[in-house]
Structure 1
Amino acid sequence: MKKFWKISLGVVLALIVIGGAGAYHERHNVRKVLLVHQHYHKKNVLSTNQIKLNLRPAISTKNTTATNKITAGYRQQLAQLTPGVAHAKVIVNPYETSPLSGLILVKTQAATKVKLTVHGDTPKTTLTKYLPKYRTNHAIGVLGLYANRTNRVTLTFTKKNGQKTYATYTMRTGKAPKEIGKNTLKTSHPKKMALGKGNNRLTFAVSSQGITYGLDAQGKIRWYSTNLISHVFKRLANNHLLILTKISASEHKYNALRETDFYGRVYRQYNFEGKFPTRQDHNKLETNTVIHHDAIELPNHNLLLTVDDGSSKYVEDTMIEIDYKTAKIVKVIDLKRILPKSAYTQYTGTKRPDGKIDWFHQNSMVYDAKKDELIVSGRNQDMIFAINYKTTNLKWILASPDKLPKHYQQYLLQPTTQNYRYNGGQHAVNIIPQQTKGDTIGLEFYDNNVPVTRGKTKQSKKWSAGEIVSINQLEHTVTKTWSFGKTLGQRNFTNIVGSSYAVGRNNTLIGFGYASNGKRSEFVEVNRKTNQIVFDVNRTHFKHGDWSYRAQRMALYPGSASVDLNEITTK
């Protein structure tokens, strides 16, 4: 039977190729047949080729073409300017999706370098950026404007002989969207916060499904995107952003993975169709969100994505690596091939309206390049584990031994901490480089403390916490080195979502995303040595379902503030 399926699938795929562009309708019907009649590797586990066929990402050039056209217009405007700071062209929201950004086009008679100052309400909310390259044609990107006010931006031009010229420009912005909700500052000690050089690191509230925005040290909105974003908001090695958004505003699902920047320029976009069989009727196809919680960049710049693989039965238990340039799927990791069969065939922890089984619910991952290991977090198994990325062989498991088959207990890390409390429903697993050396890994994560499958204690659901553990891979041990959240109690317990990231200066930023049963999100920066809270913002009055999935501290200007108007993106 397996041989028959392999031959059948091969013949059908060959027909698709041979048919060419003129047989689109026939190919569409063939694809529908292949989606409805899934090809399995073994019972409950789809074949790798079937998963690739189900997902089929494609590069879209629609938005790159549109923003390239805008860029070409600015390049032409700059070329036509008369030299002199008084003749500058000032643009607010230059790429039409980032209302608190701007662009200043200006020519100088002599080559100058530039210092950019975006004036804030306080010294610690005044943002600065140095552009050290000497030039006469300047396209200066401005980030960190306030909403609903006339902002002051000063450029300091310095010639090679040290002579300085100053020019101050104004930029008027509109109101921030009401969907953001209300952000109430509870605590702020800017001198103790990790704000970075030029104070241009903001606290970004990453949306579950809505508006993602950035706050300064006083809790004021200094950036947001009008693109609706779901879960994924990451910085790439080239300092661009990777976001998960909608293919079009009218779409219900988030099936566009976009490489963009804080100004809204689009460099690349991958679209996913997401039509999968329903659980109730395998002959019926419905559109699903393909990428659900996370996406990371690998050292080769390919993207590793958490996906639904198109199964009619299981969700959120597969990863795919796609080629950065072509969108081709080059690797599939199905967790049903790695973890115990009983974990997915006997799972009863949660229910979904569509009837599909969310037995693992992968919500984050981090790649360790030195060891070629991938560390994965799954909420519904209360489990963090590591695999060799090349072979996908298990290395270790951090979880309570409850309901774990005997064969898998050899991978369990043994606690050295007395009365060790295992993670429950955890999120946002990440490696701390400063605490990782040799066989020891410094691992941070957000512990929701809500056991779904294993590890229930009397302390469960009493609080949630940011946690750091030290893992000795050689000795197969785990030691808890820091935890914060217990003192905040039930008020900051979060059944779902959340994050905890070290941000510098011995501080950790914790996102209590689903506090008060989803009515609040709270962002708390705490010093790990003193446990003093140095920043605390409470978010309320937002739309149900748009709680803050993660809180991230990110620099607005990771590279240069110059906008390269000569760069035209082709894909």
Structure 2
Amino acid sequence: MKSGLRSKPWLIGGILIVVLAIVGGSVYWQQSRATPVKDVARHDNQVEKQGGLSTTTIKKRLQPTLSTTGIKSTQALTKTYTRQLESLSAGAAAKVITNPYQTSPLSALILVKTKAATQVTTEVVGDSKATTITHTIKGYQTSHQIGILGLYAGRTNQVKVTYTTKAGKKTTKTYTIKTAKAPAEIGTNTLKTSTPSKMSLGTGNTKLTFAVSSQGLTYGLDAQGQIRWYATNKISHVFKTLKNGHLLILTKKTTSDSKYNALRITDYYGRVYKQYDFSGVFPTKADPKKTAVNTVIHHDVIEMPNGDFLLTVDDGSAKYVEDTMIQIDHQTGKIKKVIDLKRVLFKSAYTKYDATSRSDGKLDWFHQNSMAYDQKHNLLLVSGRNQSMILGLNYRTGKLKWILGADQKIPASYQKYLIKPAKGTHFQYNGGQHAINIVGESDSGNVLQLEYYDNNVAVTRGDLTTSKQYSIGTEVRLNQKQKTVKTTWSYGKSRGTKNFTNIVGSSYQVGQGNTLIGFGYADSGKRSEFVEVNRKTNQVVFDVNRTNFSAGDWSYRAERLSLYPTY
């Protein structure tokens, strides 16, 4: 009798195909799971062979410590003012303290008691209606510690305080507060244009134009270009409003330090709430057995949704700078995550980089200068000046999603990540750009509306025919699924080489349909210019020239921030 299987060869073939499919599929599935792991390990080894560091070593070298020096000083001063207030009697003359926390000369504190519980409204009388700064303090009290912000420098200020009872009875007192001249190192701020009715000044004109320092004094200007706030502690690059209304700044641990290694949570009065200190002691390029102190944080810090901070930093090696990000726990300062861009981009980007050089010999191949985070879609955007790239990363995995940048010197294996011009459009790719930000999204987060400052300098890649001819503030629409991009607005081209800035700069929406552009390094760093322009009409509604400032302290960014943040 013949076997049933032998009589049905098609069945044998079918079984063999199924078996092979199962076995082959299993092998493929295992390989597809294992390959990324092997690739990651291979990439890690490759980075470390080229002088990079392991994640463990990066964490060890960069781990900050918590400082209590500023906090203790703040607490001591607060206790002093509380005791002084307690000693006052209701109806007695108020006690006025200028610069109560010693680093904010254009602030004051008024201590006073009222017989009835009252709500307080303050008014710093300005030179015009648009420069008069008003603020109402929530709640009704009989014991008042009234904070005053927005005083003029170098004059006797008139400050009106209105006390309103729950029954609506108002009593107004006028206090005179004298301030010293602003430091000469701030330079000269010359008003070119001001149309306050079309500016975004906020409720009570509390929003100022802040000139964020590169390495020096950060200050705020009113609608007439007058200084209404500055800090005496030097600040470098980082000056951010946090969700709770506090400020995040990068400053020095001590005034005698040459490097900026204190990340401080403070406010416009100068009170210190927290401080993360970094050592910055890294091996030198000339002799890795020797060390030198470096500034650890370069250019940007953003607050994450859970309150942690994401920092752009050096990796701590003897070879590379400004190509790594770390997330630190906002409570403890512990480093929770490391993203080393050498492990994200192609090897030739950092092994064959020669577009710029540094006096210490280290490679600044990426030069990250700004970040933006979209929590809903777990998307991190990173701007790198020296690659003329904006990267889209999956923040959880650290994997690359797309590259906004010209296609020169991009290996074939990375071409799939490139964003192309939308069909039928011309797109000027970013060159040496700064200040990336997400201003809108649609199509479930697939389409992003981005703003950034395009320095328009072809560092590693870009259009050499237009490079260095002008710089612009710009907005683009980027489709992540189709990997296409289209310019929707820009301003600055008409200003030509006069406002070209080889480094630094910013471009931020500020309300009223306006964008504030900081041409920070105009005239080769001798001038900074702050321009508020309407995106629909391109009408300039505010324009200030800054000159005669300390060498190297050109304005890193121009930001429109409120002295009294709401939260």
TM-score normalized by structure 1?
0.90
2:57 aligns with 50
Q: What is the rounded CA distance, in whole Å, between the counterparts of 1:209 and 1:496 in structure 2?
A: 14
Code of the aligned partner of 1:454 = R
Q: What is the rounded CA distance, in whole Å, between the counterparts of 1:48 and 1:425 in structure 2?
A: 28
2:148 aligns with 142
For the Cα contact (< 8 Å) 2:196–2:223, is it kept in 1?
Answer: yes
Q: Specify which of 503, 526, 531 is matched with residue 524 of structure 1.
A: 531
Q: Specify which of 555, 561, 564 is matched with residue 557 of structure 1.
A: 564
For the Cα contact (< 8 Å) 1:39–1:50, is it kept in 2?
Answer: no
Q: Specify which of 123, 129, 135 is matched with residue 135 of structure 2.
A: 129
1:164 aligns with 170
- Secondary structure (helix, strand or coil) at the match of 1:397 reads strand
Counting only pairs closer than 5 Å after superposition, residues 352-367 of structure 1 correspond to structure 2 as 352-367=358-373
Counting only pairs closer than 5 Å after superposition, residues 422-571 of structure 1 correspond to structure 2 as 422-433=429-440, 438-559=445-566
- Secondary structure (helix, strand or coil) at the match of 1:408 reads helix
Q: What is the rounded CA distance, in whole Å, between the counterparts of 2:48 and 2:441 in structure 1?
A: 42
In the alignment, is residue 236 of structure 1 matched against residue 236 of structure 2?
no
Q: What is the rounded CA distance, in whole Å, between the counterparts of 1:41 and 1:324 in structure 2?
A: 29
2:78 aligns with 71
Code of the aligned partner of 2:398 = T
In the alignment, is residue 418 of structure 1 matched against residue 425 of structure 2?
yes
- Secondary structure (helix, strand or coil) at the match of 1:87 reads coil
Structure 1 residues 434, 176: CA separation in 2 closer, same or farther (over 3 Å shift)? Answer: farther
Q: What is the rounded CA distance, in whole Å, between the counterparts of 2:295 and 2:53 in structure 1?
A: 18
Code of the aligned partner of 1:212 = T
In the alignment, is residue 340 of structure 1 matched against residue 328 of structure 2?
no
Q: What is the rounded CA distance, in whole Å, between the counterparts of 1:425 and 1:279 in structure 2?
A: 25
Using the TM superposition, give the Cα deviation of residue 300 of structure 1 relative to its aligned residue in structure 2, in angstroms: 0.7
Code of the aligned partner of 2:554 = W
In the alignment, is residue 318 of structure 1 matched against residue 324 of structure 2?
yes
Q: What is the rounded CA distance, in whole Å, between the counterparts of 1:276 and 1:334 in structure 2?
A: 17
Using the TM superposition, give the Cα deviation of residue 440 of structure 1 relative to its aligned residue in structure 2, in angstroms: 1.4
Per-residue CA deviations over 1:505-547 (Å, capped at 9, x if unaligned) read: 1100000000001110000000000000000000000111100
For the Cα contact (< 8 Å) 2:377–2:445, is it kept in 1?
Answer: no
In the alignment, is residue 206 of structure 1 matched against residue 212 of structure 2?
yes
Q: What is the rounded CA distance, in whole Å, between the counterparts of 1:241 and 1:146 in structure 2?
A: 21
Using the TM superposition, give the Cα deviation of residue 259 of structure 1 relative to its aligned residue in structure 2, in angstroms: 0.3
1:400 aligns with 406
Q: What is the rounded CA distance, in whole Å, between the counterparts of 2:137 and 2:82 in structure 1?
A: 19
Q: What is the rounded CA distance, in whole Å, between the counterparts of 1:316 and 1:187 in structure 2?
A: 37
For the Cα contact (< 8 Å) 1:240–1:259, is it kept in 2?
Answer: yes
- Secondary structure (helix, strand or coil) at the match of 2:236 reads coil
Q: What is the rounded CA distance, in whole Å, between the counterparts of 1:39 and 1:341 in structure 2?
A: 8
Code of the aligned partner of 2:168 = G
For the Cα contact (< 8 Å) 1:322–1:329, is it kept in 2?
Answer: yes
Using the TM superposition, give the Cα deviation of residue 437 of structure 1 relative to its aligned residue in structure 2, in angstroms: 5.9
Per-residue CA deviations over 1:57-103 (Å, capped at 9, x if unaligned) read: 0000011001110001111111111112x521111100000000011
1:25 aligns with none
- Secondary structure (helix, strand or coil) at the match of 1:517 reads helix
Using the TM superposition, give the Cα deviation of residue 39 of structure 1 relative to its aligned residue in structure 2, in angstroms: 13
For the Cα contact (< 8 Å) 2:262–2:276, is it kept in 1?
Answer: yes
Counting only pairs closer than 5 Å after superposition, residues 256-335 of structure 1 correspond to structure 2 as 256-335=262-341
Q: How many residue pairs are counted as aligned between the two chains?
A: 522
Counting only pairs closer than 5 Å after superposition, residues 372-411 of structure 1 correspond to structure 2 as 372-411=378-417
In the alignment, is residue 222 of structure 1 matched against residue 249 of structure 2?
no
Using the TM superposition, give the Cα deviation of residue 472 of structure 1 relative to its aligned residue in structure 2, in angstroms: 1.4
Using the TM superposition, give the Cα deviation of residue 559 of structure 1 relative to its aligned residue in structure 2, in angstroms: 3.7
- Secondary structure (helix, strand or coil) at the match of 1:103 reads strand
Using the TM superposition, give the Cα deviation of residue 405 of structure 1 relative to its aligned residue in structure 2, in angstroms: 0.8
Code of the aligned partner of 1:272 = F
For the Cα contact (< 8 Å) 1:39–1:46, is it kept in 2?
Answer: no
Q: What is the rounded CA distance, in whole Å, between the counterparts of 2:354 and 2:140 in structure 1?
A: 64
2:116 aligns with 110
Percentage of pairs with the same residue: 63
Q: CA RMSD in A?
A: 1.5
For the Cα contact (< 8 Å) 2:286–2:361, is it kept in 1?
Answer: yes
Structure 1 residues 172, 495: CA separation in 2 closer, same or farther (over 3 Å shift)? Answer: same
Using the TM superposition, give the Cα deviation of residue 372 of structure 1 relative to its aligned residue in structure 2, in angstroms: 1.1
Per-residue CA deviations over 1:96-135 (Å, capped at 9, x if unaligned) read: 0000001111111111111111110000000011123111
Counting only pairs closer than 5 Å after superposition, residues 13-32 of structure 1 correspond to structure 2 as none
Per-residue CA deviations over 1:115-159 (Å, capped at 9, x if unaligned) read: 111110000000011123111111111000000000011111111
Per-residue CA deviations over 1:252-284 (Å, capped at 9, x if unaligned) read: 000000000000000000100111111010111
Structure 1 residues 551, 533: CA separation in 2 closer, same or farther (over 3 Å shift)? Answer: same
Per-residue CA deviations over 1:426-455 (Å, capped at 9, x if unaligned) read: 000011147796321110000000010011
For the Cα contact (< 8 Å) 1:436–1:442, is it kept in 2?
Answer: no
Per-residue CA deviations over 1:387-406 (Å, capped at 9, x if unaligned) read: 11110111111001110111
For the Cα contact (< 8 Å) 2:369–2:384, is it kept in 1?
Answer: yes
For the Cα contact (< 8 Å) 2:385–2:432, is it kept in 1?
Answer: yes
For the Cα contact (< 8 Å) 2:47–2:343, is it kept in 1?
Answer: no
Q: Specify which of 189, 194, 202 is matched with residue 183 of structure 1.
A: 189
**Structure with max Cα Rg:** 2
1:61 aligns with 68
- Secondary structure (helix, strand or coil) at the match of 2:237 reads coil
- Secondary structure (helix, strand or coil) at the match of 2:362 reads coil
Using the TM superposition, give the Cα deviation of residue 44 of structure 1 relative to its aligned residue in structure 2, in angstroms: 2.8
Q: What is the rounded CA distance, in whole Å, between the counterparts of 2:441 and 2:85 in structure 1?
A: 44
Code of the aligned partner of 1:485 = G
For the Cα contact (< 8 Å) 2:235–2:251, is it kept in 1?
Answer: yes
Code of the aligned partner of 1:446 = Y
Q: What is the rounded CA distance, in whole Å, between the counterparts of 1:246 and 1:105 in structure 2?
A: 31
Gaps of 5+ in 1: 1-37, 561-571
Q: What is the rounded CA distance, in whole Å, between the counterparts of 2:93 and 2:428 in structure 1?
A: 64
Using the TM superposition, give the Cα deviation of residue 40 of structure 1 relative to its aligned residue in structure 2, in angstroms: 7.5
Q: What is the rounded CA distance, in whole Å, between the counterparts of 1:436 and 1:227 in structure 2?
A: 45
Structure 1 residues 395, 40: CA separation in 2 closer, same or farther (over 3 Å shift)? Answer: closer
Code of the aligned partner of 1:226 = T
- Secondary structure (helix, strand or coil) at the match of 2:104 reads coil
Q: What is the rounded CA distance, in whole Å, between the counterparts of 1:284 and 1:191 in structure 2?
A: 58
Q: What is the rounded CA distance, in whole Å, between the counterparts of 1:547 and 1:462 in structure 2?
A: 20
- Secondary structure (helix, strand or coil) at the match of 1:45 reads coil
Q: What is the rounded CA distance, in whole Å, between the counterparts of 2:530 and 2:270 in structure 1?
A: 25
- Secondary structure (helix, strand or coil) at the match of 2:114 reads strand
2:95 aligns with 89
- Secondary structure (helix, strand or coil) at the match of 2:494 reads helix
Code of the aligned partner of 2:483 = H
Higher RCO (C-alpha 8 Å, min separation 6)? 1
For the Cα contact (< 8 Å) 2:67–2:277, is it kept in 1?
Answer: yes
